[in-house]
Chain A
């Protein structure tokens, strides 16, 4: 086993009834790495994360998490991993302080009082510590849950959409904090739907309909898809988009602000297909490199929804 891999799993499968939700899932996360986990809704991100921390038993496959077997040693994994659930899962009828205190007790922490007080102060919730968790706003619940899963100083953080519904300032603070933690050797696996967050990860993986489609650094992922891209700006973009979508050789046409991104898998075919429109139209055409978002939208269009 490679000592530098905090997560090392191969061929994990999970079925819910007849539905094959995660297919041959393999993943390696290195120590001190921030690993982004992306994919459309229902693609199996949460299910995969749950299998990593022992909340779901894979139907087949094997691997380790922090050196512990993901099937047999889930008790050890649970003690060393900080897992933040996608849905708020702290107790709404306990206060902020009671929630954090309960979590700290579950991990048998020494200096529990101090740890909890520090966490509350760090959150800036000192004056509201005796408020019921259920009465917090969505974003604050999210921030509190994040604090709770880091209380016991885990070596690996598994964060399932930790910044959903969190304001931009708190989101930036969060990412700064995550990078600081990573610098100290803590590893983070974080699922997200935000492109800017994906770009802040050291490496990322993209999963769709249960299958891992691609992984690597941002540049690697973009390069792997080798998409040719034109950026179009000017008037009448909606009409142009309709016209472009009918053309062969054009894979995706996506509106980004005041511009259209036109992508194709084959650069020559794309150029030939769009030549007439480029020559005739009032719009301005520029060659550009594909962004991560272009790549993901392309991947999403490409994979068929096998659940329908």
Chain B
């Protein structure tokens, strides 16, 4: 039965047909180019919020009682949540790099002695500032909290210090985005938002459009196989996705001077994975939907939580737990971590695995669903 074998020439003709149709659809074509540029420009402005309970690691090289005072003072601000006590600064560094914690508080050796002597010892707080709206309010609260807490503890020990100025010298180190520019955070995130919207929507419409216009019947009557049709329809959109990413990156880099610290090759590789996940979802939507309107509604049903719960609109860690659980199922959430990691932190592949596999898992699950729903006949 050679009728069941994949035919490259049929596949190529389906790809060509899609390109021709796309070329004739001027409006869609304009949107593909327009959306990334316009959105990057529009969203370049900050959206501020006040997230609490951010994961923090502490590196305590001095185990005196003041360490506990400092930790509990920070905890009492509600901004910091101590999740880990790191043995070394290297370990803490790695955690911040992987995005496991937002802050690392380092209490240097000899802290207590210096404090009691009134030497104003240094207290180092490192912040992952890729998303400045997440770290800003927390850092602003640090000084006051520490001054009040230590003043109470130090009373009677060094009376003169307790009165006015701070007993410690808090050094804040913002990493990855030292100036706290919001556009640095928003613009890379937009890459993901743009891709989610256009990829899911356009493939969602691809199949339902054929069905609505009646041309699906003709396609079904030819020997073309479902897999040829499905993948053949996807190819043009992969290319479109890459064009969009390039346009958005150019806009980000020229208009907002967003740095590109990491490897562009790695970035595009990650983008391809993300595009694939979204296209899978789009094709699945278009197998389930009866018409274009339904496909559109399904896209928005998926798009809204993606925007709201992925950490694009609001800092991920500022959201309630249930929202974080939903958010962590969405590919966009992980894609944001990946893009910010590569663009701002210069992250490399090994640090990114933990964010890549959830996207792949999502894709696998959706693919199974899509194959289950693909209709080989008109019933």
Contacts and interface: CB of A to CB of B under 8 A. Distances in A.
Interface of A: 50, 53-57, 73, 75-76, 78-79, 81, 83, 85, 87-94, 98, 102-103, 105-108, 132
9 contacts: A76-B1, A79-B3, A89-B215, A89-B218, A93-B20, A94-B17, A102-B13, A106-B223, A107-B223
B221 interface: yes
A85 B217 contact: yes
A105 B221 contact: no
Given A83-B221, A85-B217, A105-B13, A75 B1 contact: yes
A75 B216 CA distance: 16
Interface in B11-68: 13, 17, 20-21, 24-25
A91 B4 CA distance: 25
Contacts of A89: 213-218
Interface string B216-229: 11101111100000
Given A56-B378, A106-B224, 15 more contacts: A53-B221, A75-B223, A78-B221, A79-B3, A79-B223, A89-B216, A89-B217, A91-B215, A93-B20, A93-B21, A94-B17, A94-B21, A98-B17, A98-B20, A108-B10
Candidate in A81, A89, A132 with the most chain B CB atoms within 10 angstroms: A89
Contacts of A50: 378
B321 interface: no
Contacts of A79: 3, 223
A75 B21 contact: no
A293 B377 CA distance: 35
A103 B378 CA distance: 19
A73 B20 CA distance: 32
A93 B377 contact: no
Interface-centre pick from B1, B3, B221, B224 (highest chain A CB count, 10 A): B221
B165 interface: no
A103 B10 CA distance: 10
Contacts of B20: 93-94, 98
B5 to A, nearest CB: 10
Kindly state the interface size class of chain B when it binds its partner.
Answer: 20 to 34
Given A55-B377, A93-B24, A102 B221 contact: no
Contacts of A75: 1, 3-4, 223
Contacts of A83: 221
Contacts of B223: 75, 78-79, 106-108
Contacts of B3: 75-76, 78-79
Given A54-B377, A92-B213, A106-B223, A85 B218 contact: yes
A56 B378 CA distance: 6
A56 B21 CA distance: 28
Contact of B25 (A53, A93, A105): A93
A19 to B, nearest CB: 13
Contacts of A73: 1
Contacts of B379: 56-57
Interface in B185-229: 213-218, 220-224
Contacts of B224: 106
A60 B377 CA distance: 16
4 closest cross-chain pairs (CB), A and B? A75-B3, A105-B13, A106-B222, A89-B218
A172 B217 CA distance: 27
Could you say which of B4, B214, B220 has the most chain A C-beta atoms within 10 Å of its C-beta? B220
A91 B378 CA distance: 18
Contacts of A102: 13, 17
Contacts of B222: 78, 103, 106-107
B378 A106 contact: no
B76 interface: no
B21 A85 contact: no
B148 interface: no
A132 B222 CA distance: 21
Contacts of A85: 214, 217-218, 221
Interface in B255-285: none
A150 to B, nearest CB: 13
A88 B4 CA distance: 27
A90 B219 CA distance: 9
Contacts of B220: 55
Interface in B333-379: 377-379
A90 B377 contact: no
B7 interface: yes
A84 to B, nearest CB: 9
A144 to B, nearest CB: 12
Contacts of A106: 10, 13, 222-224
A105 to B, nearest CB: 4
A90 B218 contact: yes
A85 B221 CA distance: 9
Nearest to B228: A106
Contact of A105 (B4, B10, B215, B377): B10
A56 to B, nearest CB: 5
A85 B214 CA distance: 9
Contacts of A91: 17, 21, 213, 215
A117 to B, nearest CB: 17
Pick from A56, A81, A92, A93 the residue with the most CB of B within 10 Å: A93
Interface in B134-164: none
A94 to B, nearest CB: 6
Contact of B221 (A55, A57, A92): A55
A108 B7 contact: yes
A81 B21 CA distance: 27
A165 to B, nearest CB: 15
Contacts of B216: 89
Contacts of A105: 9-10, 13
Nearest to A104: B13
Interface hub of B1, B9, B216, B217 (most chain A Cβ within 10 A): B217
Nearest to A82: B221
A108 B378 contact: no
Contacts of B218: 85, 89-90, 103
B217 A55 contact: yes
